[in-house]
Chain A
Amino acid sequence: MDIFLQQIINGIVLGSVYALVALGYTMVYGILGLINFAHGEVVMIGAMVALAVINALSGTALPGPVIVLLGLMVAMPTCMALGYGIERIAYRPLRHAPRLAALITAIGVSIVLQNSAMIIWGRQYITFPPLLPSKPHFVAGAAISDLQIFIVLLAALIMVGLLFLVHRTRLGRAMRATAQNAEVAGLMGVNINTIISITFIVGSALAAVAGLMVSGYYGLAHYYMGFSLGLKAFTAAVLGGIGNLGGAMLGGLLLGIIESLGAGYIGQLTGGFLGSNYQDVFAFFVLILVLVFRPSGLLGERIAERA
């Protein structure tokens, strides 16, 4: 039982990070109908910038949490600028071009970001200095650290903030209008270009937070980390129903839990034939099952009929 509980806790922590990244995908998809393939790399850049600041300050007398906060303070504007730039350069000129063209530029942006990070920070893993308290608490036989609690709480707080932004503010209303029909929204006086830029900026800010979380959680960052993280987050977004904010959150949490339960139990289930190194397979199996049996995702309403 304690192993089960432990896996659920790990799954929730991991799932909240997936959810934050998935929100970035789902917001952009909702408004532009475009898979922002470069989003995972924005997460990576966020982690790298934050770690660079944190490692530079870790020798000073500042307390640990303050250093981490400073890292985030630098990483977030960097990612926001990056998100804005990506949209301006790679997506806006192609808004009316065939969708595959935008997909290719997105891939191009990913390659550029990944290799820039490799040139700047090198190929080695960058470690997260032990600045944060990691004393575990024990709940019913399962361990949970302060850091894990903090990650889940912060993710929850951000998501509530985002829901408020989208559903209760003027800006959010403009975003929803643009997602429904950009042209009509434009006629109603919404500045579509600004709204799309803001969507990218907000998504990238979330990506910076997620990047810092994931590097703090695993204690590592690497120029290649954005790829698989992005892929899983996208899976989460599709699982929940892409274009749907609540769906992205639900999908992220579910995917995190499925992954850690799967990795924890696959050995027992298959009599030791398959091991926990198949962890990554679960995400894709779930994705395929969802898309085949319920293509609109768990909370999605309609299937996008775009060819």
Chain B
Amino acid sequence: MSRWEKLKRNPRAAWAAFILIAVLLAVLPFLADTLLSRSWVRIIDFVLLYIILALGLNIVVGFAGLLDLGYVAFFAVGAYLYALLASPHFGIHLPFWALLPLGAGVTCIFGVLLGAPTLRLRGDYLAIVTLGFGEIIRIFLNNLNAPINITNGPQGVNKIDPVSFGGFSLNQSHQLFDINFPSVHNYYYLFLALTILVIFISMRLQDSRIGRAWVAVREDEVAAKAMGINTRNIKLLAFAMGASFGGVGGGLFAGFQGFISPESFTLIESIMILCMVVLGGMGNIAGVVLGVVLLVVLPEALRYIGPFEQALFGRVIVDPADLRMLIFGLALILVMLFRPAGLLPSTIRKREFEAEDEVEAQNGARA
């Protein structure tokens, strides 16, 4: 029996662990602020934002097995929707509570629109088509500033309204019980709430009828169809759900940053999010969260290479900003070489890999 199962059967210990985690999450920004620095609170905010995005992609790639390399398109659509409807660019200032569901809805439609033509495709082909869609959306965002200025082109949209509820703006510090909550802390709590919601939705989806249908489609589409699953609808649903998570993430990103430009929505970003999903362990929610934490925190932590180089060689030989992407790439290669199923593979997937080996061995024997 694993430690996790022991914990499950011991309600008191489970509650204690639960409360411990809850308290830790509640005070995390203050801990990071005092122990590290204010910029680390911002990094934690980004971890939460990326968890929302990665869990969205996990529905498409991890659950339904549809390799999507253009996921950032939905992130971009959500962000631009928020930016255009809540900034001086068009002079429209819709409130946050209206924009969040609107963003989810519009990107959901985009998900279906982009998903529909790709239904017949599989594997690599699907990956390339989604990649193409992602690039097309980015190129349009980059160029739709003439003759009618819609997206403001490469300059991007700035002065985006911060997230606010009525008169309560998250961009200002607030005092509560004599504790000062700066802007990044406010966003932390908003993002945390939404992240928990998204994790909850993902967990419920995973074991639901829909979630099992996705797994069936992932494993064998023909068999799934024979079992009475409407594979077309179920695949479209995966695209739509994943896209709406991306759209919500995009809206949050726009409000949090206050500025967006097409630069933020390149293919590299899609690939990063995919790496988060795969590195941690596809289809496993805890794995995805771990992947996000690693891939967001690692490049930031690698900023400390500069002083290290200084100490080792007496001078900075290579700019740490250049070096950290290099190390990041190496880390991706090494993790995949030693743990090809991800750091925390889901139990079903793990079983599949083992089974696949057996099938392969049999095939080899037959051939």
Which A positions have Cβ atoms within 8 angstroms of B? 35, 89-90, 93-94, 96-105, 107-112, 114-116, 118-119, 181, 183-184, 187, 227, 231, 234-235, 238, 272-275, 277-278, 280-281, 283-285, 287-288, 291-292, 295, 303-307
Contact = CB atoms under 8 A, between A and B. Distances in A.
B325 interface: yes
Contacts of B123: 99, 304, 306-307
A287 B128 contact: yes
6 closest A-B pairs by beta carbon, nearest first, are A111-B329, A108-B332, A284-B132, A97-B340, A101-B340, A112-B329
A291 B125 contact: yes
Contact of B135 (A231, A277, A295): A231
A183 B356 CA distance: 16
Taking each of A98, A181, A183, which has the highest tally of chain B beta carbons within 10 Å of its own beta carbon?
A98
Contact of A107 (B136, B271, B364): B271
B41 interface: no
Given A115-B322, A278-B143, A304-B124, A104 B117 contact: no
Interface in B249-285: 267, 271, 274-275, 278-279, 282
B143 A119 contact: no
A275 B117 contact: no
Nearest to A93: B337
B215 to A, nearest CB: 13
Given A101-B340, A275-B143, A292-B117, A111 B132 contact: no
A152 to B, nearest CB: 27
Contact of A284 (B122, B135, B326): B135
Contact of A94 (B67, B121, B336): B336
Nearest to A183: B367
Nearest to A33: B124
Interface string B139-175: 1101100110000000000000000000000000000
Contacts of B278: 100-101, 103-104
Contact of A288 (B124, B129, B147, B356): B129
Binding site secondary structure of chain B: helix
A103 B118 CA distance: 20
B75 to A, nearest CB: 18
23 contacts: A98-B341, A99-B123, A104-B278, A108-B330, A108-B336, A115-B323, A115-B329, A118-B322, A119-B322, A181-B367, A238-B125, A238-B128, A281-B139, A284-B132, A284-B135, A284-B136, A285-B136, A291-B118, A305-B122, A306-B122, A306-B123, A307-B123, A307-B221
Contacts of A284: 132-133, 135-136
Contacts of B120: 292, 295
B132 A287 contact: yes
Contacts of B341: 97-98, 101
Given A119-B323, A181-B367, A107 B275 contact: yes
Given A119-B318, A280-B139, A307 B122 contact: yes
B333 A112 contact: yes
A70 B357 CA distance: 48
Given A235-B128, A287-B132, 14 more contacts: A100-B278, A101-B336, A104-B274, A104-B336, A105-B333, A107-B329, A111-B325, A112-B326, A112-B333, A115-B325, A119-B322, A288-B133, A292-B121, A303-B125
B15 interface: no
Contacts of B331: 108
A288 B146 CA distance: 25
A266 B118 CA distance: 26
B129 A112 contact: no
A24 to B, nearest CB: 16
Contact of A287 (B65, B129, B353, B356): B129
A116 B139 contact: no
B65 A104 contact: no
B328 interface: yes
Contacts of B146: 275
Contact of B333 (A108, A227, A291): A108
A71 B191 CA distance: 53
Interface string B327-367: 01111110011001100000000000100110010001001
Nearest to A123: B322
Contacts of A304: 122-125
Contacts of B121: 291-292, 295
A284 B140 CA distance: 12
B336 A307 contact: no
Nearest to A272: B147
Contact of A116 (B132, B275, B326): B326
Given A35-B124, A119-B318, A277-B143, A109 B337 contact: no
Contacts of B333: 89-90, 105, 108-109, 112
B329 A234 contact: no
Taking each of A90, A116, A291, which has the highest tally of chain B beta carbons within 10 Å of its own beta carbon?
A291
A107 B128 CA distance: 14
B124 A94 contact: no
A110 B275 CA distance: 13
A272 to B, nearest CB: 7
A177 to B, nearest CB: 13
Nearest to B119: A292
Contacts of A273: 147
A109 B332 CA distance: 9
Interface in B44-101: 65, 67
A182 to B, nearest CB: 10
Contacts of B135: 231, 280-281, 284
B322 A105 contact: no
Nearest to B339: A101
Contacts of B267: 227, 231
Interface string B210-227: 000000001001000000
A184 B329 contact: no
Given A100-B282, A112-B329, A281-B139, A184 B367 contact: yes
A184 B143 CA distance: 52
A204 to B, nearest CB: 18
